[in-house]
Amino acid sequence: MTTAILVGNIGFGGVLRQRQQHPLRRLGFRTTAAEFFFPAPGRIAPGKQLPGTGRLTLRVSSVASVVETKPRDPVTVDEGLPAKENILACPVCYQRLTLIGPPISVITTKGSSLQCDTCQKTYLGNDTHVELIAASGLKEYTESTSMTTEFFKFPLISYVYERGWRQGFSAVIGFPGPEQEFEMMKEYLQPVLGGNIIDASCGSGQFTRIFAKSGLFSQVIALDYSENMLKECYEFIQKEEGCPKENVSIVQADISRLPFATGSIDAVHAGAAIHCWPSPSAGVAEVSRVLRPGGVFIATTGLALADGGNLLLPLVKPFRASMYQITGSHIFVSDGELEDLCRSCGLIVVKCVRNRRFVMVAARKPT
Ligand SMILES: C[S@@+](CC[C@H](N)C(=O)[O-])C[C@H]1O[C@@H](n2cnc3c(N)ncnc32)[C@H](O)[C@@H]1O
């Protein structure tokens, strides 16, 4: 696979135009008593200036042979994205849930409950998030998951994650950092701007806040398996100035069993997470299931080896299974592997961008 090192201005710095004002909506639900449908007052301001520009050295794989050397075209919000309602589904049977109580958002989570009429099961909201896992409501049985998933459940790990740990990814792996990563993915998100986005395995919610503050999405759903990460996510949202809360919701969910109706989601972002999932293929398959035709998936991760380390591949590959048994983490050795994974789950790879060991893949669901 040919690669080239290119230096370019990866910022956008463009002017956001709206071809047609797109109504932003909160999650809407049908209840047995009444129909909830919530056009939110906010709109993406015409002429809005997108966040700043940056400079970054990128290595781009053969699939992704175009790198910007000048400011990109203005980002426009696609007209005609259908309003989504009632996207939450039972993680057991995938039937849409019925909301009892106020519509779900960061402000109203506590006291909300969702009913699955098929499974006769109720999913409850607590102070910070709505529990939407198959294991919700268990009384006697307790389930352990993979080592990495368990690891992020510790309060200390959740606490330090955004207070130094994530920043370390830049130095060690080459992650550009959340703001810059958002700038990089915006181009690929363009077809779904104005729609909803799931920040899958959101951790403490750095991207959730960036998505919400950007005003580019009608609904932002922060999702993680770790309750402590979700508590951090909630606290950070509360503290963050200018972060809208009425169209942000936080849900506890397993990536392998997503609580969303099939084809109901416009975009899924999974930052620095795919290697942490118990089964990346089960996770990406679920992402593919919930994406609507034309929906976009953006994933970032760190590869085990930087370019030039190919000689070590024969040494690394045989140990992957054992490493997973010991650490619960999956080792990706090339961007080609990520592309392969996306394709095997029915997605079309649009772009793969490298920066040292950092890799970002953008894929979309066929229309
Ligand atoms: C390294 S953090 C990434 C956080 C954030 N997205 C970022 O870009 O920094 C990985 C996250 O994956 C989550 N995770 C692990 N297993 C999961 C699962 N089975 N379902 C959903 N999330 C999971 C962890 O709880 C953790 O918050």
Q: Give the closest residue (by CA) to ligand 1 atom 16.
A: 149
Query: Ligand 1 centroid to 201 CA: how many Å?
Result: 4
pTM recorded for the entire structure: 0.80
Site residues for ligand 1, CB cut-off 6 Å: 148-149, 152, 166, 201-203, 206-207, 224-226, 229, 254-255, 271-273, 276-278
Question: What does pLDDT average to over the chain?
Answer: 80
Q: How many domains does the chain have?
A: 1
Best mutation site among 153, 201, 329, 330 for ligand 1 pocket (most ligand atoms within 8 Å of CB):
201
Best mutation site among 157, 163, 276 for ligand 1 pocket (most ligand atoms within 8 Å of CB):
276
Task: Tell me phi and psi for residue 98, to 5 degrees.
Answer: -105, 130
* CATH number of 205's domain: 3.40.50.150
H/E segment holding residue 15: strand 15-18
Which of 270, 326, 311, 303 has its CA nearest to residue 148?
A: 326
Domain of residue 251: give its range: 4-364
Q: What percent of the chain has pLDDT over 70?
A: 76
pLDDT band at 319 (very low <50, low <70, confident <90, very high): confident
Sheet holding 76-77, edge to edge: 48-49, 15-18, 76-77
pLDDT band at 157 (very low <50, low <70, confident <90, very high): very high
Which of 87, 68, 74 has its CA nearest to residue 44?
A: 74
Q: Give the closest residue (by CA) to ligand 1 atom 8.
A: 271
Among 69-73, 139-143, 165-169, 315-319, the range scoring the smallest mean pLDDT is 69-73
Q: Residue 327 is encoded by which pair of tokens? A: 């650490």
Which string of DSSP letters, residue by residue, matches 290-331?
Answer: HEEEEEEEEEEEE-SS-TT-GGGHHHHGGGHHHHHHHHS---
Q: Is 41's pLDDT higher than 80?
A: no
Q: Give the closest residue (by CA) to ligand 1 atom 10.
A: 273
Query: Ligand 1 centroid to 275 CA: how many Å?
Result: 9
